[in-house]
Amino acid sequence: MRILHALVAVGLAASTISSSLADPAAAEDVAYQMAKKYVDKGFAMAPTDNSGLLGAGGSVKFLIPVNKGLDYVFLVGSDAAARDVDIYVYDEVGSLILDDRRTGKLAGVQFRSSYNGTTIVYLHMAGADGLAAWYVLVGRRGIAKSGISTPSDAATPAAPAGNGP
């Protein structure tokens, strides 16, 4: 009987471990599924080469160039281990433009830039079971006026932030 209990315990532990493994491909798939409705609205979506793993309470910062008058969307897809993902967008002087702090494993924001320059975007993994995979997409709608730089790669990674904004 003890052997049976030990086998059941090992089986439960193994299933818990396997279900908590981060899945970067799933996070990327979720981000692209989220992007479909924005593509239908005329947004050009671009991968940011920004993806990774975060535990609960971790955050990462991105610098994303923006042009005045253009619409932007920042989307975060995550895997099954993510429980609560938040996104915060600040202007160059540190003023909050907008955020998505809703409880959930997906986060996204859309706004029209009122300036030429750079936004500072924080992804905050507010809740996760172990390490959770995340993937960021950036979308832009509109045409930049001549002489204004356009974000070709959409995002420049910055050093990982501390414990969030």
CA 50 to chain centre: 8
Cα dihedral across residues 101, 103, 105, 106: positive or negative? negative
Q: Please check the confidence at residue 157 and state whether its pLDDT lies above 50.
A: no
pLDDT digits (tens, 9 = 90+) for 104-146: 899 999 999 999 999 999 999 999 999 999 999 999 999 877 5
* % of the chain with per-residue pLDDT over 90: 67
Q: Which CATH number fits domain 20-157: 3.40.50.720, 3.40.630.30, 2.60.120.380, 1.10.240.10?
A: 2.60.120.380
Q: Please check the confidence at residue 16 and state whether its pLDDT lies above 50.
A: no
Where do the structural domains in the chain lie, given as residue ranges?
20-157
The CA–CA distances, whole Å, from 51 to 3, 31, 118, 141 equal 43, 11, 20, 23
Rounded to the nearest integer, the mean pLDDT of the chain is 82
pTM: 0.74
Q: Report residue 8's pLDDT band, with 50, 70 and 90 as the boundaries.
A: very low
Task: Give the C-alpha separation, 43 to 76, whole Å.
Answer: 16
Task: Give the C-alpha separation, 164 to 88, whole Å.
Answer: 10
